Amino acid sequence: MNDPNGLVYHDGVYHLYYQYNPGGTTWGAMSWGHATSRDLTQWTEQPVALQARGFPDNITEMYFSGTVVVDEKNTSGFGKRGKVPLVAMYTSYYPVEQTLPSGKHVRKDQQAQSIAYSLDKGMTWTTYDAANPVIAEPPSPYQDQVLEFRDPSVFWHDQTHQWIAVVSLAKLHKIVIYTSKNLKDWQLASEFGPANAVGGVWECPSIFPLSLDGSREVKWILMLGLNPGGPPGTVGSGSQYIVGSFNGTTFVADEDSVYTPEEGSSQTANWLDYGPDFYAALGFNGLPRDKRTIIAWMNNWQYGGVIPTDPWRSAMSTPRHLALKTIAGKATLVSEPAARLSTHGGRTFTFRRLDGERELGRLGKALEIELSFSRKASLATEGEFGIAVAATKDYAQETRVGYDFATGQVFVDRSRSGEVGFDGTFASRYHAPLVLGADGSVSLRILLDWSSVEVFACEGEATITSQIFPSKDAVYSRLFSTGGETGNVKVRVKEVRSAWR
């Protein structure tokens, strides 16, 4: 599996569609897999929603990334006998030149935007073969980008009473915005980009509103996947965002959300996550504005096809709630885990002062950890404090999560996390900027699973998502403090029950 697709909440059910190869554990035969949940924790695998046309031996169309909306007003006309249609908009990829049932002719490797609909609450789908693709080619003057035109994100815009589609011109680092009254006929409205990080192709764009600091002021967020060219210190994929405004046709970035080389700043983007394994993030349609919940592909195109798992490959991040808060005078996306994990066996460790290492013993393989600590200003200029998790008893394997006082960064170090030799870049350390609290305090929330660690710092303004592949006996943990004494240390640990029970 790779990108999450078609995230939608409807009639009490969360639907997660996703890029899926029904014939293997590497990229190919792209289809839409499907899973459902009522609580974002326990998921039920469903039959493949959109299987590559002609699979397995004569594939003529693959289904790339896209989104799903609930067409409550039946603007599309797909609804019948009072049934509300769900409409998916996705990128059709045509591996061979052909004339389609709609009579439209497509080139080899063309990417175009198509739709399908469901009348049974998203369980089965009918492609709109009478007219697909509904957006066949990029707008002029970008028609030479027909092979790199993908990943539509669709939503209803209340103020202008129309549907909006955001599509990526991947290699040009542009998004194009279309409008429609019926999800079938689309008109070009505007374009945006390039801006900020442009080290790789732009993929999986979306725009959505959020209240600023819970007030009546509303900002719009453009969220983008970038591959390669992710956050500093990573190799491969990443996710960035830009804060701005949207009037139903045009996205305009806020000045302080865009960086230019002339500024002399080392910052080139606003990163959604500073880890190596958070890509193609997408939010659920169908939720209230300020309940924005996203899921990302927890992998990286640098090594996604060779991670050492069997008989499956790839996973999704934990669902996250997004909010927009003013931090250091700037509108900043913050996130926190959205799922209510089922936990047991809570343990608490407290240390008034700690210098060196302190064993915590055998904690388990799937944990929810809350770690808080502080260091006096006179000492908070060097050294590190943190926790080693997923460690073997001799600590030959461990993943270190903590704060570097010298650089002002929270970090995840997976260089000795277990199996790391399958890719030359995997054994690395990742970091995110984090300003200490006025009292020199730091708080970290850590979600540890069998093959992943997700870190949320302070208000969620810094997150790091990383895969790890430790040994089965890597269930130990210890604290570490270097470069001085760390105080007010508190660790709360809960074991997470299986979501597959």
- With 0-12 / 13-18 / 19 or more C-beta atoms within 10 angstroms meaning exposed / middle / buried, residue 130 is exposed
| Chain segment 67-79, per-residue pLDDT in tens | 999 999 999 999 9
How far apart are alpha carbons 431 and 348 in whole angstroms? 27
Secondary structure tally for the chain: helices H, strands E: 0, 33
- Residue tagged active-site, from 3, 71, 273, 277: 3
Task: Tell me the pairing of strands 270-271 and 238-246.
Answer: antiparallel
Q: What percent of the chain has pLDDT over 90?
A: 94
CB-CB contact of 343 with 337 (8 Å): no
User: What are the backbone angles phi and psi of residue 405, rounded to the nearest 5°?
Assistant: -70, -30
Mean pLDDT value across residues 48-57: 97
Task: Say what the pLDDT of residue 213 is.
Answer: 97
Q: What percent of the chain has pLDDT over 70?
A: 99
Residue 345 has pLDDT above 90, yes or no: no
> 500 falls in which pLDDT band (50, 70, 90)?
confident
- With 0-12 / 13-18 / 19 or more C-beta atoms within 10 angstroms meaning exposed / middle / buried, residue 196 is buried
Q: Which of 136-140, 343-347, 360-364, 447-451 has the lowest mean pLDDT?
A: 343-347
Q: Is 355 a catalytic residue?
A: no
| Chain segment 187-240, per-residue pLDDT in tens | 999 999 999 999 999 999 999 999 999 999 999 999 999 999 999 999 999 999
Residue 501 has pLDDT above 80, yes or no: no
What domains can be seen in the chain, in order of their start residue?
A: 4-337 (2.115.10.20), 343-496 (2.60.120.560)
Question: What contacts 77, CB < 8 A, 6 or more positions away?
Answer: 182
Q: What does the mean pLDDT of the chain come to?
A: 96
The Cα-based distances of 340 to 66, 170, 389, 395 in angstroms read 27, 36, 22, 31
Instruction: Assign 171 to helix, strand or coil.
Output: helix
CB-CB contact of 86 with 74 (8 Å): no
> 313 falls in which pLDDT band (50, 70, 90)?
very high
CB-CB contact of 175 with 165 (8 Å): no
| Chain segment 232-287, per-residue pLDDT in tens | 999 999 999 999 999 999 999 999 999 987 665 687 899 999 999 999 999 999 99
